[in-house]
Structure 1
């Protein structure tokens, strides 16, 4: 009996100790993991509500030091950061060692993006299709150089092309006139525009820098409408048509989100503020618990934005057959943080059957693109 009593006391003591141990998982201290998501937030605390302090991309390696509540602790930019563990793949020591040797051997052949937001294309020219996007500070193994373009190796094993003048390895060809990365920010250049920006000409958008901001993306689907329609998907398809229409009118267009990626509101504003932006337009679709609510409206933040909102919204409601909900002043963060005249457009309700049946059509999205283009032409002229 004494033995059983002693055994019970020992078990009870061990259980008590286990209760005192914090919820720390099995992540091995100093173990290396690989990011499996296209874009991964690094947060200041192990919580989805914590401040985002940085971003990681698919294929990036992180060193993990502890785990709490499904989050792993690492370091980002010299400070403690937390990452959701389910976005990570553990690497074996051999794999990590081989990768480190490979990276050390090829570090002199890496290329680093220096512009804020850059297209990755399928070939060495702006005539090739966009297959992805990358951002300032991202580094890739350099495979080859063709004129003013670098071919790089991407995290998923494929290859893509980046304009050399948007990286730390510029070329000295006559075609690029040795354009430096600084020119990209100061003159509002993108990889589809390596010439000096001219002054405006009447009847077109030549000479104007327009930022199109497709709302939401990645792990932020936005509103979810009837039939499980995601706002982010409708916004993406609409934005693609808007961008093409604006470029056809001569505008230089910068897009804050290429593909299905999460971009914070601060990053969206930062992208716009990094260029000599003439107008910032954030595109969204609306939702409401009452199914009968429908229509389009445009938001602005300050009086300096009002004229842009008035011109674009007037053009929209004269061109589409949806209820006009008017122009509304709101202190939205993405608008107040953007230096250029800026508006946010709600292009219909995905929770209203009639609106949804219309806004899902390519005809409607093309009319939206026409309306924005004509509204901007009216605004600037």
Structure 2
């Protein structure tokens, strides 16, 4: 036992000695009245003390969003989002705008005069720091922007890219601009998984070489670098089907593989198209000699004559209190790389929506309903694909399950959303049942301009079953008992709605 203790002490000393070497020296400043120091990198660790506003802290190491510091001779951890970089560090950095438009003000205050605005993605040098405000040069004069709406990066000048460096697009469609600014003219569009040679890097912008030999700038946050020779940008995966059939009347065909591209034609259900190749979630097709793109969630590779055949159902003599002959689509929100919101204690929304939907499905099937999931595992499913499932199965009801979050941690309660007037009766019935069963604050039935409601032609609702951003409510809504209660209430609401239709 003694040898074990001695070994443990030496091991601990060794870790403490090398820890500072593993992280670059950094000084941060506390930007809240009192910042708790914890024994580990997370909100669940014990509080061992506190530091005050404007205190300078020497960072020893980092782990995710936490800084390790020396606190009265012992190792402690503080939340990085409650600190700012030191003034000396900040003036050697650039601020990259993270919102669509950012106000530039005459002084470090929201009440001061507005000098103008910066567009998202703009990178600008920092001259000095005053609390939560950063001084910049705007149109030849001093201006101030708030630090909460920018990301600080090391100031860079245009530099040659590393040998054989490539840039891979990681969004559906990305604009290529003539200059490294969102205000500059758009010259081309590139698409997900396309790879390009990098000519230079300027701040948060990357200059790439296009297939026609020209060059342009793209925002680096929407892609990644690869240390290998890039593949030609026109290489796509082989088609998974030789022909596809349109499912819905008025289906859009577009000039490129993204909903951001122009609509070039509209086709009706039952029309077949010859596939040239696949581009992510899109098919490239030929229509009257013209190249167009159609989304894979509005077509099928099977044989159908028209959308009406897919939606046609056997008429069942249904009794009150049952769901025989009805199809209900359950839409567990988020999934895969889309974690949804994250709670005060670290709960991921995607981890709650699916278990809630599974409990609900069991109750609905026991009552005779056919239940269809938009996702049955931890995978990412696009919003339009979720709506497509609703349409393809001719859903009698579409229920999208979510948990909410806002910056104000005092907000709490459950909300039921609908978009179209014909969706409101379903929302009223489900919300009424939730109101009877849940002990949370009732935030009412509201109109919500969500894509899964707006684009849905079936009876559809979106449920926000409590706020993960509220610490007290998070503890309550993450329990198995709450999920069971919520699922049973939604089940009762569906029974009530369909009984009212008899």
Query: Do the structures match in fold with TM over 0.5?
Result: yes
Aligned to 2:223: 84
1:215 pairs with one of 333, 348, 357? 333
Aligned to 1:66: 197
Judged with a 3 Å threshold, the aligned counterparts in structure 2 of structure 1 residues 347 and 20 are, in CA distance, closer, same or farther, namely closer
Aligned to 2:318: 201
Inter-partner Cα distance in structure 2 for 1:112 and 1:370: 45
**Kept in 1: contact 2:329–2:390 (CA 8 A):** yes
**Is 1:43 matched with 2:173?**
yes
Inter-partner Cα distance in structure 1 for 2:408 and 2:230: 52
SS of equivalent to 1:211:
strand
Cα-Cα RMSD: 4.6
Deviations 1:158-201 (A, max 9, x none): xxxxxxxxx96xxxxxxxxxxx6539975558xxxxx9644351
Inter-partner Cα distance in structure 2 for 1:210 and 1:53: 38
Q: Which runs of 5 or more residues in structure 1 are unaligned?
A: 1-18, 56-61, 76-80, 94-102, 117-134, 139-166, 169-179, 190-194
**Is 1:247 matched with 2:386?**
no
Q: Which has the higher contact order (CA 8 A, sep 6+)?
A: 1
**Kept in 2: contact 1:186–1:274 (CA 8 A):** no
**Kept in 1: contact 2:330–2:399 (CA 8 A):** yes
**Kept in 1: contact 2:196–2:230 (CA 8 A):** no
Number of corresponding residues: 271
Aligned to 1:182: 304
Aligned to 1:286: 404
Inter-partner Cα distance in structure 1 for 2:465 and 2:355: 13
Inter-partner Cα distance in structure 1 for 2:243 and 2:227: 25
TM-score by length of 1: 0.56
Inter-partner Cα distance in structure 2 for 1:363 and 1:342: 26
**Kept in 1: contact 2:415–2:464 (CA 8 A):** yes
TM-score by length of 2: 0.44
**Is 1:263 matched with 2:263?**
no
Deviations 1:86-130 (A, max 9, x none): 6x897999xxxxxxxxx99xx9xx8999899xxxxxxxxxxxxxx
**Is 1:230 matched with 2:348?**
yes
Deviation at 1:309, TM superposition (A): 0.3
Q: Which moved more, 1:241-250 or 1:369-378?
A: 241-250
Inter-partner Cα distance in structure 1 for 2:418 and 2:165: 49
Aligned to 1:352: 470
The structure in which a higher percent of residues are strand is: 2
Judged with a 3 Å threshold, the aligned counterparts in structure 2 of structure 1 residues 183 and 226 are, in CA distance, closer, same or farther, namely farther
Deviation at 1:285, TM superposition (A): 0.6
Deviations 1:15-69 (A, max 9, x none): xxxx888x7665578x9x9x9xxxx75434479x9xx9988xxxxxx67443586
Inter-partner Cα distance in structure 1 for 2:410 and 2:379: 31
Structure number with bigger Rg = 2
Aligned to 2:63: none
Aligned to 1:307: 425
Judged with a 3 Å threshold, the aligned counterparts in structure 2 of structure 1 residues 367 and 288 are, in CA distance, closer, same or farther, namely same
Judged with a 3 Å threshold, the aligned counterparts in structure 2 of structure 1 residues 200 and 308 are, in CA distance, closer, same or farther, namely farther
Deviation at 1:346, TM superposition (A): 0.7
Inter-partner Cα distance in structure 2 for 1:372 and 1:199: 23
Inter-partner Cα distance in structure 2 for 1:73 and 1:215: 38
Judged with a 3 Å threshold, the aligned counterparts in structure 2 of structure 1 residues 260 and 115 are, in CA distance, closer, same or farther, namely farther
**Kept in 2: contact 1:301–1:330 (CA 8 A):** yes
Deviation at 1:258, TM superposition (A): 3.0
